[in-house]
Amino acid sequence: MPGRSDTAAAPAAPGTAAFPPATPGTAASGTAAPDVLAAERAHLAAAREALRRMRAHAESLSADMAADWVSRQYLESLLDQRVAALADHPDTPLFFGRMDRDGEDARESPDDDSADDSADHLDDDSADGPGLTTMYVGRRHIHDDDGDRRPLVLDWRAPVCRAFYQAGPADTMGWRLRRRFGFQGGELTAFEDEPLDVPEDAGGPRTSALLTAEIERPRTGPMRDIVATIQPEQDVIVRADLGRTVCVQGAPGTGKTAVGLHRAAYLLFTHRERLARSGVLIVGPNRAFLAYISAVLPALGEVRVDQATVDDLLGAPTGTGPAEASAVKGDARMAEVLRKALWRHVRKPEEGLVYTRGVAKFRLADHEVRQTAAALRGTTRYAAGRDMLAQRLAHQILVLMEQRGEAPDDRVQDQVARSRPVKQVLDAVWPKVTPEAVLHGLLSDADALRAAARGVLTDEEQAAILWPKPPRSPRSAKWTSADRALLDELADLIERTRSLGHLVVDEAQDLSAMQLRALGRRCAAGSATVLGDIAQGTTPWSARSWDEVLGHLGQEGDVTELAVGFRVPGTVLDFAAALLPHIATGLAAPRSLRAGAGALTVRRTGDVVQDAADTARGLLELEGTVGLIVPDAAVEAHARALDAAGVPHGVLDLESTGEDERLQLVPATLAKGLEFDHVVVAEPAEIAAAEERGLARLYVVLTRSVTSLAVLHAAPLPEPLRR
């Protein structure tokens, strides 16, 4: 896909004047506007020049003062990163907003907000904005190089910039005016003023032409950042404390993914050092989705955030299994079964321990070994327990040596612990195991499974997961995606999984309890941002409630809801919402920011495949991206029809993103999380019939468009969509 050249803030809406009014009666207008625009352009030029000087300064720094080679390499790489971060991309505006308040500008710099160092030092004092009467908000901090390093642009993540996103008439946060800028390319072409010190209801509800223009700006490639137009309710989530796990329920297009990515960028800025050590990870449903969101964090200056699918983390499946087996294997009760299965590997000793030193023999009776092993069983991770058993047995031998008048030291204890007789006892009593060997043993052997699952799984459930034809060895086993989560659980029972600092989990409603537990281990010492929509759950184990999800994740957190849809126009959203009562009772119908907007066509046709190709070709005449979303089984037929009609297109599959083509042919099961300016959906009934939660899949598919949706069908529409 093409890289984003205009990561910028909102451009002027096509067809609007250079100074689009934001709020009735408050816009820049008349003769004042050109002056204002000229002054703002002058500030942009000054900021650009200051950035050039900051970069020149960074380039002049040398790593030569480093004490040794390793430090020099490290310093050099930091300096390189700093120079790269200070690059000025001509198409990216250096600021997108401005705030004003009355008073004297104290001309002092807020705590250095630059993202190069840890910003852990940004304490509460700086949150109020020290002394500035005007501040410009942008993607990165830029300062003058005069003595007091006056900030020309503040990083949007600095505490003081919270006001740009959250101040309103109800709480002005000490500011008088918010100004948003519109850009075309790198050119500042428009501004929009919003006075904050007027009563809330004066002049009717506030709408921002620049926000609407930004949302409706045609898509050209991967997802873009929303830093210029983050909404107050989104900003609260973005800036939630690192220590807090936040769970966001939101209808399609309410900005959950965008919010999760901006939260990652915010946390990295605010806790740079801590998170550089512990790490931040974004988990998404598949590679196509990760590719789609991959440009957002780099555009925000964060290039070192890992993005992974659950398969990347737990290991790609090498086989598939029946849905009933996956459902049981995904259930949280499996954790107990696995725990029992693992600890059954610790066995009663048949013999004691005899350790020979010189002519002396030291003996521990079998009941002594048994007691020692029994005292440890289940109190630690399995591997640590084995090491501790070795040390305890060695210690008991040492006591016998002392009783004989010897004076052995710690080194002798280590020798004994590593000796052959102790190892033999360990192998008999507390053998080394691998997750694969334990699971292979469990799923191959009805007796072993019964022993571990007694009182936990029913006979039918046990039968569902028992392999009908067990593979000969763990190595030859074909592991399914559900098995991978079980292996991960076992791996953690054997050795503790390392926790990261923060995890962003998108489309979390689709994860099984066991997958959530696996992710929970990876943020056990940190926190998480959990994003999803119960109505878009398409797996047989999809979550019914967020409390349940948080419970499996092992995190305490607040559930918040995003209610306003930014992507999907009102007419399209209303059409899709007819499915809601059938897929998620209790969820309110989503609300679109652009209530009256959007073009919806529902057409019955004799030849869906041909009609879809023709419709897609017509849509390519318009600006922006086009998604042709079809039943998985029909992808090939549609690809052939597009080829025959000479319509250039990419085909999305699990590994690819359809490359650079504006038209993407999308199997229904890969549409989740994606969006296109124009969407054509082929044969909804077939999409709905293809899987157990097919209506939920259809809801996902119907909510991917920003501008228009065409639904083509030969078979009757699913009942809830017949109007």
Binding site for ligand ATP (CB under 6 A): 211, 214-215, 226, 229-231, 234, 250, 252-258, 533, 536, 566-567, 673, 675, 703
Kindly state the smallest distance separating residue 699's Cβ from ligand ATP, in Å: 10
Closer residue to ligand ATP in complex, CB, 215/681? 215
User: Given its phi and psi angles, is residue 78 left (phi above 0), alpha (psi -120 to 50 degrees) or beta?
Assistant: alpha
Of all helices (H) and strands (E), which one includes residue 604?
strand 599-604
Closer residue to ligand ATP in complex, CB, 7/703? 703
Strand 187-195 to strand 177-184: parallel, antiparallel, or no bridges (unpaired)? antiparallel
Closer residue to ligand ATP in complex, CB, 178/386? 178
Chain centre to alpha carbon of residue 457: 33
CB atoms within 10 A of CB 649: 23
As given in the structure block, the two tokens for residue 281 are 């990870």
Can you tell me the distance from the alpha carbon of 541 to that of 326, in angstroms, rounded to the nearest whole number?
9
Kindly state the smallest distance separating residue 558's Cβ from ligand ATP, in Å: 18
Can you tell me the distance from the alpha carbon of 291 to that of 295, in angstroms, rounded to the nearest whole number?
8
All residues at 6 or more sequence positions from 157 whose CB lies less than 8 Å from its CB, including other chains: 113, 115, 119, 265, 266, 269, 270
All residues at 6 or more sequence positions from 723 whose CB lies less than 8 Å from its CB, including other chains: 578
Closer residue to ligand ATP in complex, CB, 527/536? 536
CB–CB of 592/565 below 8 Å? Answer: yes
Closer residue to ligand ATP in complex, CB, 40/675? 675
Closer residue to ligand ATP in complex, CB, 250/598? 250
For 484-521, letters b (16+ CB in 10 Å) and e give bbbbbbbbbbbeebeebbbbbbbbbbbbbbbbbbbbbb
**Which residue is nearest to ligand ATP, using beta carbons?**
255
Can you tell me the distance from the alpha carbon of 493 to that of 381, in angstroms, rounded to the nearest whole number?
5
Of all helices (H) and strands (E), which one includes residue 564?
strand 564-565
Kindly state the smallest distance separating residue 287's Cβ from ligand ATP, in Å: 16
Question: Does 254 carry a binding-site annotation?
Answer: yes
3-class SS letters over 320-384: CCCHHHHHHHHCCCHHHHHHHHHHCCCCCCCCCEEEEECCEEEEECHHHHHHHHHHHCCCCCHHH
Kindly state the smallest distance separating residue 101's Cβ from ligand ATP, in Å: 24
Kindly state the smallest distance separating residue 570's Cβ from ligand ATP, in Å: 14
Secondary structure of residue 609 in the 3-state scheme? helix
Closer residue to ligand ATP in complex, CB, 151/252? 252
- Of 350, 315, 584, 285, nearest in space to 436 by CA: 315
Type of residue numbered 584: A
Kindly state the smallest distance separating residue 611's Cβ from ligand ATP, in Å: 26
Kindly state the smallest distance separating residue 389's Cβ from ligand ATP, in Å: 49
Closer residue to ligand ATP in complex, CB, 440/594? 594
Kindly state the smallest distance separating residue 316's Cβ from ligand ATP, in Å: 23
Closer residue to ligand ATP in complex, CB, 7/23? 7
Kindly state the smallest distance separating residue 254's Cβ from ligand ATP, in Å: 4
Closer residue to ligand ATP in complex, CB, 465/531? 531
Closer residue to ligand ATP in complex, CB, 119/226? 226
Can you tell me the distance from the alpha carbon of 234 to that of 479, in angstroms, rounded to the nearest whole number?
40
Kindly state the smallest distance separating residue 420's Cβ from ligand ATP, in Å: 59
Question: Does 253 carry a binding-site annotation?
Answer: yes
Question: Does 252 carry a binding-site annotation?
Answer: yes
Q: What is the DSSP letter of 628?
A: E
CB–CB of 695/579 below 8 Å? Answer: yes
Question: Does 256 carry a binding-site annotation?
Answer: yes
- C-alpha radius of gyration, the chain, whole number: 31
Kindly state the smallest distance separating residue 396's Cβ from ligand ATP, in Å: 59
Question: Does 373 carry a binding-site annotation?
Answer: no
Can you tell me the distance from the alpha carbon of 5 to that of 76, in angstroms, rounded to the nearest whole number?
28
- Of 415, 433, 437, 417, nearest in space to 425 by CA: 417
Q: What number of H helices and E strands is found in the chain?
A: 29, 22
CB atoms within 10 A of CB 163: 23
Can you tell me the distance from the alpha carbon of 4 to that of 24, in angstroms, rounded to the nearest whole number?
34
Kindly state the smallest distance separating residue 531's Cβ from ligand ATP, in Å: 7
Closer residue to ligand ATP in complex, CB, 517/678? 678
Of all helices (H) and strands (E), which one includes residue 557?
strand 557-562
Secondary structure of residue 450 in the 3-state scheme? helix
Binding residues: 250-257
Q: Which residues are annotated as a binding site for ATP?
A: 250-257
